Each structure stands twice: as structure tokens, then as C-alpha cells.
Amino acid sequence: MTGMFEPLFNALLPLIVMMVLIGGVVAFIGAKKQGPLTYPYRKNKRLMTEAEASFLRVLELALPAGEYRIFGKVRVEDLISVKRGLTRKQVMSARNRIKSRHIDIVIVDAKTFEPRWAVELDDKSHAAEARKKRDDFLNKAFEAAGFPLVRFVAKRAYSSQDILSQLGLLPAEDCQEQPLESFSAL
């Protein structure tokens, strides 16, 4: 059997060697043509939308001075993580669902930097079906992690009492008894 294919192999061997050499030369030239590593990036104009930035400023005014710090556009994976005891495949699947998502605003304790609340500002884009699924996923993920995710509907003005009540810093009944101090978010 070996003898039968030997003439064919001997005839094709120079062709195979030639193809490998040509492929190597083409790859080398192609690598040279690409030139040095490029960085095709640009600075984004804003970290957050105008409504998110405005709401962040409203939160700063509403929260008790010096007790909290506020951060915008925080990665979900920096706030919650995958539980231990899962298979590698389960861990990777769970991480992939959170790793490229972010939360609009995060409120942390000013002294310890412990995250206290994740805040989402829901504008009209949250009515889209894909966005509803994303919101539902985040609600369930944060609930499973035991981390409060508070949603505020985007609007023109907010009262400090309403904000504090939604965060659990002020009983809801106190909102009606106190005079409303409104802040504009737009």
C-alpha cells in the first residue's frame, strides 16, 4: 500500500512545501502592512444622559449632607457577584449576563464606601420590550443578591421627601405631612 502512494507523495511534496512557504511569506507581509498597533478610540461627550446627570444633582441635594457619596454609571459586576458553589460553566454564564451592564447611579456610605442603593432612572425608553426584559433581569438579580435596586420614573421635578421615602430614609406618611421641597431634574 505504501508503495502505491509513494510516487504521488513524492510528486506533491515540493508543491506542499512551496504552499507552506508562500503562506508564511504572505502572513509575514500582511503583518508588516498592518503597521504598529492603533488605538481607534474617541472620548465620549457625556458619561450619562442629561436627565441622569440632573437627577444625580437632585439626589445630592436630597440626601443628608456628608452621609453618602454618589457615583454614576457603575458596572453591575462591581456591585453584585456570582455565588460560590456553582460549576465553572454556571459561573461564566451568570457573569456574562452582568459583566457589560451598568447601573445609572449608586449611592454609597460616605465613610465605608459600602454600596447602599442602586438607582435606575426609568425614562420612556424603558417601555420598549427589550428594555423591559433587561429591567426585569436586573430587578431579579439585585433582589437575589440582597441589594436594593430603586427605580425612579424620569420626570421634570422631584421632592426631596419622595426621594428619601423611596430610599427608605423617610417613612412614606411623612411625605404628606411635610411641606414638599421640589427639585427640578431637567
Read off the pLDDT of residues 93-104 as tens digits, 9 standing for 90 and up. 999 999 999 999
Task: Delimit the domains of the chain by residue range.
Answer: 50-184
Answer for the pair 142, 80: CB distance below 8 angstroms, yes or no.
yes
Which pLDDT score is estimated for 18? 81
Paired sense of beta strands 149-153 and 115-122, if any: parallel
Long-range CB contacts (within 8 A, 24+) of 60-64: 61/160, 61/183, 62/158, 62/160, 62/163, 62/164, 62/183, 63/107, 63/163, 63/164, 63/169, 64/169
Count of alpha carbons within 13 angstroms of residue 89, beta-carbon side: 0
User: Across the strands, what pairs with 183?
Assistant: 158
Residue 28, C-alpha cell as written in the block: 509575514
Q: What pLDDT does residue 98 have? A: 96
Calculate mean pLDDT across residues 100-117: 97
Q: What is the mean pLDDT of the chain?
A: 86
What residues have CB less than 8 Å from 115, skipping those under 6 apart?
A: 79, 106, 107, 108, 147
Q: What is the CATH number of domain 50-184?
A: 3.40.1350
Which has more confidence, 45 or 174? 45
- Asked whether residue 178 carries a pLDDT value surpassing 70, the answer given is no
Q: What local confidence, expressed as pLDDT, does residue 180 receive?
A: 40
High-pLDDT (> 70) share of the chain, %: 85
Question: 103, 54, 111: which is closest to 79 by C-alpha?
Answer: 103
What would you report as the CA-atom Rg of the chain, rounded to the nearest whole angstrom?
A: 28
Q: How far apart, in whole angstroms, are the C-alpha atoms of residue 178 and residue 159?
A: 11
pLDDT band at 57 (very low <50, low <70, confident <90, very high): very high
Question: Which pLDDT score is estimated for 172?
Answer: 56
pLDDT of residue 186: 54
Best CA proximity match to 74, nearest among 138, 170, 153, 146 = 138
Report pTM.
Answer: 0.73
Residue written as grid cell 460549576: 87
The predicted structure's pLDDT at residue 81: 96
